[in-house]
Amino acid sequence: MVLLDETARGVYVISATPFTDSGAMDWTSTDRLMDFYVDGGVDGMTILGVMGEAPKLSAEESEAFVARCAKRVAGRLPIIVGVSNPGLKLLGDFARRAMDLGAAGVMVSPTAGLKTDEQIYGYIESVVKELGPKIPVVLQDYPQLTQVFMSAPLINRFFADFASLKMLKHEEAPGLRKLTKVRAADKDGSRNRRISILIGNGGIHLPQELARGADGAMTGFAFPEMLIEVCRRFASGDAEGAEDVFDAYLPVVRHEQQPGIGLALRKETLRRRGILASARTRAPGPALDAADHTELTRLLARLERAKARLPVPPLRLAGE
């Protein structure tokens, strides 16, 4: 098993957790979703993140989902498992079990309620100690959800002090200046190594974030081929071509970014693409009404027309 390290780059897609219409775990759709991501060419994936509805799964379901995904992926790409939990021992126990099942690393965000730099530092220090030096960690910076705000100097301090932190998942918004400051520490001596930085927020600022030094995306946009193509073109020096592809998908990216209903839109799009059997989210969770479905249909039709106008079409996923 290859463990996550600081060289990670590209697209680590955030996976949904498939449910049946009754809300049970859907293992057939899980297998199909794993195949969709692997065959599509993502560089890695993250499961049981915010998009994965992790708080709505029992401990047994969470472990079973990790096991199922790892078995289906079969080492073809690294899997990161979200393990955030207010209880440090629960966090540590699940992280160790996930690693035993084949995870390449785990993702942790600060627990809610932390206000000062000292409080935040003390919490992350406790997490690192609980996990030990052998488990690679992705530090998730998502203050819109956690209400915990980490400054660029504090983030750089974490990565300077704790070698097991390998990647920053950057999704503060607006956060372009912060990204620049974190990346600048690679060269200014305030941090002793280059780290991997992947961005979230549906990829809505992906071209600008790549230009600011991000290594790729870790998000759950329902068209991961766009994320892959944008990152590929940008890395090859074709920044304008990357933005052309991004622009074609932007209305759908923006639509998915709606608070509350965004997950239901992503799941419905994956259902329409033949990946999920059901777009069900677990209660309490959003569901689309007739107007929402009509709106999505129109946007997806516009997307197909926009893609057809691109001078060089984006890559298509296997089987499409």
What domains can you pick out in the chain, each with its CATH number? 10-237 (3.20.20.70)
Global pTM value: 0.94
Indicate if the pLDDT at residue 320 is higher than 60: no
Q: What is residue 133's predicted lDDT score, i.e. its pLDDT?
A: 97
CB 117 within 8 A of CB 154: yes
249-299 tens-digit pLDDT: 999 999 999 998 999 999 999 999 999 999 999 999 899 999 999 999 999
Per-residue exposure over 70-105, b if at least 16 CB sit within 10 Å of its own CB, e if not = bebbeeebbbbbbbbbeeeeebbebbbbbbebbbbb
Helix or strand holding residue 259 (H, E):
none
pLDDT at 317 over 90: no
The pLDDT tens digits for 196-221 are 999 999 999 999 999 999 999 999 99
Contact 137, 108 (CB under 8 A): yes
**Phi-psi category of residue 237: left, alpha or beta, with phi > 0 → left and psi -120 to 50 → alpha:** left
Of the chain, the percentage scoring pLDDT greater than 90 comes to: 90
Q: Which residues contact 235 (CB under 8 A, 6 or more apart)?
A: none
Higher confidence at residue 308 or residue 318?
308
- pLDDT at 119 (0 to 100): 97
Q: Give the pLDDT score at 315.
A: 55
- Give yes or no for residue 242 having a pLDDT over 90: yes
Question: How far apart, in whole angstroms, are the C-alpha atoms of residue 228 and residue 264?
Answer: 23
Contact status, residue 161 vs residue 129, Cβ threshold 8 Å: no
- Decide if 224 contacts 249 (C-beta within 8 A): no
188 or 88: which carries more pLDDT confidence? Answer: 88
Q: How much is the average pLDDT of 48-55? A: 93
Asked if residue 159 has pLDDT above 50, the reply is: yes
Beta bridge partner(s), residue 217: 11, 199
Q: Render pLDDT for 172-188 as a digit per residue (tens, 0 to 9).
A: 998 999 999 999 999 88
Query: What is the rounded distance in angstroms from the CA atom of residue 8 to the CA atom of residue 2?
Result: 11
Please indicate whether residue 105 or residue 316 has the higher confidence score (pLDDT).
105
